[in-house]
Amino acid sequence: MKIVVIQGPNLNMLGVREQHIYGHMKLDDIHAQMEATAKQNHVDVEFFQSNLEGEIVDRIQECLGVADGIIINSAAYTHTSIAIRDALSAVKIPTIEVHLTNIHQREEFRHKSLIAPVASGQIIGMGPFGYHLAMMAMVQILKEIEAIRESQKKAAQEAQKKK
């Protein structure tokens, strides 16, 4: 299993910018914790961060046929990027949207996520722990998909034997 974690604009500044909102933990520290969780679950994980919308779209598209799941914090693009939403919709890969803060407790313009309708789930307001929750949720989703595929494969083999 492979999970790609995509981080949007300004997340490279975690631990520096607006600590009273986003906390003191740096992005590298969050990624290190996610990597440890992935390793415990025998999952490959890859991290990507960009401040540029087009690069995020490109990275999502590159996941097609390579990644089993995407965890994304598209940051400010959550509320504005139809392009990121459409890329996620196009690749049809299970996706979990993460936000460090509760977007519904923030400014009105942050309340609507364009990503949510094409995501498998959303984890908001849990701070850095939200990424751990997203990793565990994605592992569970992927295991369930794998079990369904195995069951279908077994059923197809049994049906073939009956012919």
Identify the DSSP state of 12: G
- What phi and psi, each to the nearest 5 degrees, are found at residue 122? -140, 135
pLDDT at 15 over 90: no
Annotated catalytic residue, options 77, 99, 104, 132: 99
The string of pLDDT tens digits covering residues 43-97 is: 999 999 999 999 999 999 999 999 999 999 999 999 999 999 999 999 999 999 9
pTM, whole model, 2 decimals?
0.91
> How many domains are there within the chain?
1
Catalytic-residue membership of 99: yes
Q: Which domain holds residue 51?
A: 2-162
Query: Is the model's pLDDT at 21 over the cut of 80?
Result: no
**pLDDT over 80 (residue 19):** no
Residue 79 annotated in active site: no
Which among 20, 22, 77, 111 is annotated as catalytic?
Answer: 22
Write out pLDDT tens, residues 97-152. Answer: 999 988 887 778 777 999 999 999 999 999 999 999 999 999 999 999 999 999 99
Residue 6: CATH number of its domain:
3.40.50.9100
**Mean pLDDT throughout 22-34?**
88
pLDDT at 158: 86
pLDDT at 33: 94
